[in-house]
Structure 1
Amino acid sequence: MATAAVLALTTTVGAADPPAPAAPPRPDLSRRAAEVDAYRNLAESVMGVHLTADTTVRNYVARSDAIATALDTCIKGARFGPPRQYGDGSCEVDATLSLTDVITALKKSATTGTPPPDLAALERRATTEPEVTATGMGVADPAAEADAARVVWPGGTPVPPWQVFQADPQAVANARRVAQVTAARNLFEQVCGLRVSATTTARQFVTRSDHLRTATAGVLRGYGVAAVAYRPDGTVAVRLEMTVAQAVAALKQADPADAAKFDAISPQTAHRILRAVGTASVAANRPDANGDPPSP
C-alpha cells in the first residue's frame, strides 16, 4: 500500500460566529507519500522483492490465499516528474531511474564488501532499457479529507483516473498494491514455479476429501508495470511484464550451479515478453476508521 500521509488541519470557532471553513489539505504531504511509493516500486523492479505465497484449496474451494513481500535496500538518483494532484486529495508521481547510475553505484559498493545483485543481468537489461520508470500514489489522511469537505486542491485535477469507483482514494491505493503483489506472485510462478502438495480421499468411488496446497518463495526482479486498469466492476487490475532474458537472469542467480542449461536460449526467445495480471477489489480494501488497511 502507498504510505499514508498525515495532515494537520486547524479550525477556529468563535462563540458567536459560524464555524470557519476547514483549511484545505496540504498537497506536499500526499506528494511525499507518492514519491516514497515510487521509490519502493523502483527498488522492487531493479533490486528485487522477496516474495512468499501460500494457497490452500479444499474440495475445489480456495480457503486461503496469502502473499507477503519484503524489501530492504538503498536506492538513490531517482528523478521525479511533476505531481498530478487530484481533487479527492490524492496524488500520483512518476519516477525515473538510470540503470547505468545504479550499476555504477553497485560496483562501488561491491568494493566495500556489500554483496551486489547480479550485475551482469542489470547490464544486459540496461542495453535495452536504459531507464526504469515507476508511478507512486499518495493520499490525504481520511479524517483530514472529511474535515476539509473534499476541498479541491489548488491546481488539482478534479477527476482522477479511478473516479469510476466513487470510492475513498486510500481504498484504491490499497487495492492497486494488492493487485500488483498478486501479479508479482503470478509472474514468479511462471518464472520459478511453485511447490504443489495434494491429498485426495475416495471411498466407494465417491470423493470424501480433496486438499491442495501451493507454496512459493524467492526473489523476483527485472519486471515492470505495463498497465493499470480501473474496471467498472469495482476492481483494479495491474499487468506486470518482463523479458525471458530477465527471467533467466533471476533463475541463474537463484541456482548458480544449474545456470549453464540456460545458455542455449536463442536471442529471439530471450526477447519474448512474459506477462502476468493481478486484480483486487476496491470495496474489500476500504480502510478502517483509523485509516489502516482492513483486517483479514
Structure 2
Amino acid sequence: MAEPKVGTYTSKGPAMARLVTQHLIMKPYIWSAVTVHTHGMRNLESVKPPFVLIANHSSHLDTPLLMGFLPRRLSKNLASAAAADYFFETWYRALPTRLFFNTFPVARQGHANRAGKRGFAGDLLSAGVPILLFPEGTRSRTGAMTTFTPGAAALSISRNVPVLPVALVGAYAAMPYGATVPVPGRPHVHIVVGRPLHATPGEIARQFSDRLHRYVVEMHDTTARAYGMPTQADFARAVALRQAAAKHEADRRAAELDERTAAEAEQDAAEAEGMPPLPEE
C-alpha cells in the first residue's frame, strides 16, 4: 500500500464518505446490537480538535462505539491507529478500515512495515487531526486492563494537546475475545467520558500515562459498581482463579505422570533381576 499522506485525513471527499458509512451503516448496526449508555458528555463541551482520545480496549466494539458516540464536530476527522503489518499490507483490508475509521498505520513491536512511519501520529496532531489510541497496545483477552504504554501521554506533551480519557464498561461481555458479532439480547455498554487532561508541570510521559491509567480504571469501576457489572478487580480475580485452576490441573497431570514413570521404573528393575513382574492394578 502507498504511504498515507496527512492531507487525506482532512479532505472533504473522504470525510463525507465516512459520514455516510459511520452514521448510516456502522452506528445504526452497533446501536441496534447493544444498548448504549453515555455518561459525562458535559466533559466534551470544552474539547476542540486536535486531541488524543484514549480508552480501555477489550472488544472489537470499542472503535465503533468511540467513533459513534462523539458529536460530529469532534468525530469528523478523528483518525484511529491500526496495525500496519495487518491492516495496511493489502488494499482490501486498508480500504474498508480507512473508510469506516479513518485509520493511520502504526508499526507494532516486532513487526516491520514501511507504512507504519514513525512520527505520523504527531504529524496528524500538528495538522489539527484528533487521534484515537488504545494505550494498552492490544485488545484484552480477559476483560482485565493492562498497564498503559506512554505513547499517548508523550504525544499529548510533545504537541501540547489534551488527552480525552474514556472508560468502556460492558464491551467485553457484549463481544468478548474470539466473538465475531455481539452476543444476543442487546447487552448494556456504558461509555464514560472523563475530563480532558494535560500533563502537570514537570510530569514526564510515564507518570502522566500512569495517572491516565488510574483515571480510566476509576471511571470504569465506579460505573461498573453502580450498574452491577464486573470491576477490574473482578476481572483480575477471575484471571487469577483460571490461572490457579490451570496450574492445579498441570500439577495433577505431572504427579500422575511421575507415578506412572516410577511404577514403570520399578517394574523394569524387577524384570532385570529376574523377578516376576508386578501385578497390574
Scaled by the length of structure 1, the TM-score of the pair is 0.22
Would you tell me which structure has more strand in proportion to its own residues?
Answer: 1
Would you tell me which structure has more helix in proportion to its own residues?
Answer: 2
Scaled by the length of structure 2, the TM-score of the pair is 0.23
